[in-house]
Structure 1
Amino acid sequence: MSHFAGQSIDAARRVLAARLLAVGNDSAELDARLLVGAALGLDLTGMVKAAKRTLTHDEADRLEDLARRRLAGEPVARILGIKEFWGLPLHLSAATLVPRPDTETVVERALELLRADGASDRALRIADLGTGSGAILLALLSELPNAHGFATDISAAALRTASRNAAELGLGDRATWIACDYGSALTGAFDLIVSNPPYIPSADIAGLDIEVRAYDPRAALDGGADGLDAYRALVSQSAGLLTSGGFLVVEVGRGQSGQVEALMTASGLSPTGPPKADLGGVPRAVSARRLPR
């Protein structure tokens, strides 16, 4: 029998929050509100207005199913199938990472570089290598009205998800989707290349939180023995794809910024200052430029 049978909407939310808190969930209140809303098809305003209404049998069963999934460690974003990034609602699939706030640091650094260069209003060509849900590229296109994006991913399923996101955000006519490994199938010159590649050392994946190791696609996490395999490929590719004066901005893991900067320098790119830290103070966005010749 469901824990929520015969409960009011408000009581069900509180019961679920208590169950989540009991297993160490540090966002129990928010998760409970989101899951109750999903089970009942109500937004926050609707839940407040109907707070005293008793759940139907079907609603209680639906909420119990969602609760079990969350209690087993499945992220709320996976359960809901959607996650906000840069203020944009993005659909997810089994082939995509859940976009994380840390990755917004890449968007911030890229926009800073373009604006400082007076390039943000130009008809820029942007490449997003290993795009996943399309998060980084779509955030940039939403800020750069004259830019066109080219997004690659080795997963056709990920590209379908990203394409759907672009279409629903009204950005589909400014994005092109290409199935390949990082920049291997790209041609032409790009003003900006961005990427959030897999960077977790293979041996560290088993120790990640269950929300990541059990639900994010391993191919989007596993960076090889030292976590740097993807950078070795994409940095050298990018050096040959950037315009004169073009920028490369990538997300890195904790403690990797110096090694990735060294790879950039070895490929003939010039780092553009210290890495940009995320809200937790971790150097997260590493950037470099192909110097004008």
Structure 2
Amino acid sequence: MRRSTRLLGDRMDLSIESLSPAELGQVSLGEAILRATHRLAASGSMTPRLDAEVLLGYVLGLSRAQLNARWDEPLTAEQAERYAELVHRRAEHEPVAYLVGQKAFYDLQLYVDRRALIPRPETEHLVEEALAWGRAWQSDEGQPLRAVDVGTGSGALAIALARHLQAHVWAVDISAEALAVAAYNVGRYNLEGRVMLLCADLLSAFGGRFDLIVANLPYVRQEDLPSLPQDVIGYEPWVALDGGEDGLAVIRRLLSQAHEHLASPGLLLLEIGHGQGDRVLEIARSHLPEATISLLHDYAGLERIVRVERP
């Protein structure tokens, strides 16, 4: 019988935090994972086993597959104490991405902390749309395109574009703190010469036009902010979430600037929240009546991207 199963059966409190310092030195990887899973499930995590494995993998420098292969191996007391602390913080709803300092996005591993919004997998659909259009544009034009990522945060979109397109990319954010995170990620991928960082309010600092504009701006209505999950509203920056009274305050301002800053031909891709599609389409048409404007859904069937293509 695995040691983890025997020890778990001896206790009423199954959380890893319930163990004494001496007991922490007797815990196997498997028992630690099971105890952490129990604790995180009780705290309301939607993915307690995944969280438990990712956190222990971070402590030990192991993949999830390696953890399962070493299920019965013991943790040192120091490793167990460090793990227990991370599990406690996760049980207090601190996001796993902030605890481990990184988040997978598209084909990237990005550094993240509380200065910037955590990239979401739904936003990868925007990357796919941008790359498909950008490759076709380059095939026709035969030159690097000019792109801008508005509200870059961690730099996720800008870096993905620069890695996969021949492009000069501006990464813009109103938050200097978020730009510091983006700068670290740009350096991680050695893109300092191709991704230019700028602290500015949307496109107000630019005088020219861009072939490609991508934006994942705040779109949560102010009245909905308090009802967001605690691991979002309690830790992620409000400036990256707050979309004003109707959720469209920042989006509306960007679309009002797009007429002057989107090249012809050119493409603007804008992430939106579910239920905002019709209103954003209306705003986009009022500012860019000559453009072909459409609403794209994500893989869950939810409204996700407004696509504005200028002929």
Same fold (TM over 0.5): yes
**Are residue 123 (structure 1) and residue 144 (structure 2) matched?**
yes
Distance in 1, matches of 2:141 and 2:246, equals 35
Alpha-carbon distance in structure 1 between the residues aligned to 2:27 and 2:292: 57
Structure 1 residues 7, 30: CA separation in 2 closer, same or farther (over 3 Å shift)? same
Contact kept in structure 2, 1:192 and 1:242, CA below 8 Å: yes
Larger Rg: 2
AA aligned to 2:186 is: A
Superposition deviation, residue 45 in structure 1: 5.2
1:105 to 120, 125, 136: 125
Whole-Å Cα distance in 1 between the matches of residues 199 and 141 of structure 2?
Answer: 27
Residue in structure 1 matching 2:84, options 35, 53, 64: 64
Selected match of 1:226 from 223, 226, 246: 246
TM-fit CA distance, 1:46: 4.5
State yes or no: 1:277 paired with 2:297. yes
Q: Are residues 1:195 and 2:215 paired?
A: yes
Given that 2:285 and 2:293 are in contact with CA atoms closer than 8 Å, whether structure 1 keeps it comes out as no
2:154 is the alignment partner of 1:154: no
Which residue in the other structure is 2:94 paired with?
74
Is 2:203 aligned against 1:183? yes
User: After the TM superposition, which of the residue ranges 200-209 and 237-246 deviates more from structure 2?
Assistant: 237-246
Q: Once the two structures are superposed, what CA deviation does each residue of 1:227-280 show, in whole Å capped at 9, x if it has no partner? A: 111012111222211111111110001111121121211112545453221121
Q: State the number of aligned residues.
A: 290
Q: Aligned pair 1:38/2:83, yes or no?
A: no
Whichever residue aligns with residue 35 of structure 1, its letter is: L
Distance in 1, matches of 2:291 and 2:245, equals 25
Q: What is the distance in 1 between the residues matched to 2:132 and 2:63?
A: 35
- Structure 2 unmatched ranges of 5 or more: 1-15
CA contact (8 A) 1:277 1:284 kept: yes
**Separation of aligned partners in 1, 2:130 and 2:65:** 36
Q: What CA deviation, in whole Å up to 9, does each residue of 1:58-85 have, x standing for no partner?
A: 1121111100111111111111111011
> CA–CA distance in 1 between the matches of 2:245 and 2:252?
13
The offset of 1:122, in angstroms, is 3.1
Aligned partners of 2:43 and 2:92 also within 8 Å: no
Matches of 2:198 and 2:269, distance apart in 1: 20
TM-score after normalising by structure 1: 0.92
Distance 2:246 2:270 in 1: 17
Q: Does structure 1 residue 137 correspond to structure 2 residue 158? A: yes
Percent identity reads 38
Q: 1:120 to 1:15 in 2, by over 3 A?
A: farther
1:129 partner letter: V
Distance 2:113 2:304 in 1: 25
- TM-score, normalised on structure 2? 0.87
Alpha-carbon distance in 1 for matches of 2:177, 2:102: 16
Distance 1:94 1:270, change over 3 A: farther
- What CA RMSD, in Å, does the superposition of the two structures yield over aligned residues? 1.9
SS class of match (1:172):
coil
Structure 1 spans left out of the alignment, 5+ residues: none
